[in-house]
Amino acid sequence: MFPGRFPMMDVNPRYVVERDNALQRIQHDLWPLDEIDPKKEKFPCCLVWTPLPVVSWLAPFIGHVGICREDGTVVDFSGSNMINVGNLSYGAVARYYQLDRRQCCFPPNLSGHICKQGYQHAEFGTAVSWDDALHSSTLNFEHRNFNPFTCNDHSFVADFLNRLSYGGSMNWNMVNVGVVVLSKGQWVDSSSILRSFMPFIVMVCFGLLMVGWQFLLGMLSFFLLVAGWYILATYCFNNLIEQ
């Protein structure tokens, strides 16, 4: 036996069989999705994003997010006690990122978890399908008060992803939801890029013309203030954040 090598018998064959059976069962139950169709606002199993009026003019990285059902219908948390279904509340989808259902944990029971945090996942709330998880998150948020700083559309999506233990993680929050859609999201078309950045460019040009470089300093301060709040509130004072 070589140093640092372990005999094959140390790997529990029962675990391997159960894991493979669970993965095969999930793959068997995942029926094919329809094609993404921006013209009909259909984005099956996608995170979707659109810029916010005024706010995105000053900080184009900030926007409104939603999650889509398996049939492509958009669902978002758009206001206090308000779940919007059919389209994003603040405009057409500009960016989307299709998630992989094979990275979701759909446990039929406690022993059926394929994620590493079975008890935590069970305590938070599990689901038997993608749409079942979305339905549970909808019921959870339809009676909540909307707060842009502590309980918002990103919180809704994070709650949904935690119910799926998506990617094996139960640590989804406002910050990493935003990072995923902005770093991995695809633009719907060139007009979506223009719609997202043109107001910001106009504001910068107007500010420089009327105020000067101090305007850029003010915009940078706004950017740092907003980003700093969400990062600190999420990772340092998470008792302030609802998700």
- Give the number of domains in the chain: 1
| Rounded-to-integer distance, Cα 94 and Cα 198, Å | 13
* 30 inside domain: no
Per-residue pLDDT of the chain (243 residues; tens, 9 = 90+): 444 443 433 444 554 444 445 444 444 467 789 999 999 999 999 999 999 999 899 889 899 999 999 999 999 999 999 999 999 999 999 999 999 999 999 887 766 778 888 788 888 988 999 999 999 999 999 999 999 888 999 999 999 999 999 999 999 999 999 999 999 999 999 999 999 999 999 999 998 889 888 888 988 888 888 888 888 888 887 666 665
Range(s) of the domain holding residue 188: 37-237
* 18 inside domain: no
Please state the length of the chain: 243
Please report the pLDDT score of residue 232 as a whole number: 87
- Count of Cβ atoms closer than 10 Å to residue 192 Cβ: 21
* 21 inside domain: no
| Rounded-to-integer distance, Cα 100 and Cα 171, Å | 17
* 8 inside domain: no
Eight-class DSSP state of 51: E
* 69 inside domain: yes
* 225 inside domain: yes
Please choose, from the candidates 218, 193, 192, the residue with its C-alpha nearest in 3D space to the C-alpha of residue 203.
218
* 180 inside domain: yes
